[in-house]
Structure 1
Amino acid sequence: MQNEFSVSGSVVVQAPPEAVFAVLADPRKHSVIDGSGTVQGEMSGPQRLVLGSKFGMRMRRGVGYRITNTVVEYEENRLIAWRHMLPGRWRYELAPEGDSATRVTETYDYTAMMPKLLARTGLPKQNQRSIDATLQRLKAYLEGEHG
């Protein structure tokens, strides 16, 4: 789903919110679930993220680079969001679905990043594809043999 200043997607995962959150709050798992193909691994930072945590990773989009993120929103087993030097924000919201499933909504919010200019770059559509792929990878990871 896309609005003027953000893109998002949702998936229902057959796992409790605690299990989903454990994957999202572990930066070493981000390369496993990344649907963009840009997260290359080589993580730095804590093993479990909390509000204010800084974590870095090696990325590749045409050329390789390193990025450092800061957790800017956090509610245990419900919400985690981070941003890097640009003010865009990656957010994951979790909502229980029945006894053992979780609706995961991932959003990339670029409201604070000159959104009209950014929209012309095609990046929001690319991020939408990445979100959809990430959510499917997260679902497969948690519902598969690793979950």
Structure 2
Amino acid sequence: MSDDPFAASDSILVAADPETVFAFLDDPANHAAITPGLTDVRNVEPLENGGKRLSYTYRMAGMGIDGEIVQTVHDPPERHVFDLRGRLTGTIDLRLAPAEGGTELTYGATYGLPENTLTRLGAPVIRRFNERQLRAALENVAARFDEG
């Protein structure tokens, strides 16, 4: 992992093949269901690369942050890359690889937060927050397939 306090990365085994996991992650409504704090996904537009552009609202520390996500890489069944634009900036990189028992899903992210009380809390607090959010999203994806 990077020393950047706004970067986080983690992996999990998902009990489904990469094609199925990729298709699940290709639906923006599923991101709202698995990502803590993501409260609204709207204005979804298809892009020529197979990805999507959409608007979102993310709640952090009681405040809503609106922005746009543009999928820059749509490489079935191996990779999704999203650029976050607006007050919350960054990149989300989802990589899928076949593994015994299903798919190894790796979630890497780098975030740029708006300057406010959150960023003044300091790097260790921000790093732990990002790592917890990312881990929760991975566990939520895995749980969707464990239920089936």
TM-score over 0.5 (shorter chain): yes
* 8 Å CA contact 1:89, 1:108 repeated in 2: yes
Map 1:80-91 to 2 at 5 A. Answer: 80-85=80-85, 87-91=89-93
Structure 2 CA distance for aligned equivalents of residues 102 and 65 of structure 1 = 32
Structure 2 CA distance for aligned equivalents of residues 21 and 49 of structure 1 = 18
- Count residues in correspondence: 136
1:66-117 CA-partner distances (Å, limit 9, x unpaired): 221011222111000111225521111000013x50000001135xx59xxx
Match of 1:28 in 2: 29
Is 1:140 matched up with 2:143? yes
Please tell me the root mean square deviation across aligned C-alpha atoms, in Å.
2.6
Is 1:94 matched up with 2:96? yes
CA drift at 1:140: 0.3
Structure 1 CA distance for aligned equivalents of residues 59 and 110 of structure 2 = 21
| Secondary structure of the corresponding residue to residue 3 of structure 1 | coil
* 8 Å CA contact 2:38, 2:56 repeated in 1: yes
Deviates more, 1:130-139 or 1:63-72: 63-72
Distance 1:32 1:140, change over 3 A: same
Give the TM-score, by structure 2 length: 0.78
Structure 2 CA distance for aligned equivalents of residues 49 and 141 of structure 1 = 29
Give the TM-score, by structure 1 length: 0.79
- Which of 109, 133, 142 is residue 130 of structure 1 equivalent to? 133
The alignment-based identity, stated in percent, is 23
Distance 1:42 1:52, change over 3 A: closer
Q: Structure 1: which 5+ runs fail to align? A: none
Match of 1:40 in 2: 39
CA drift at 1:144: 1.1
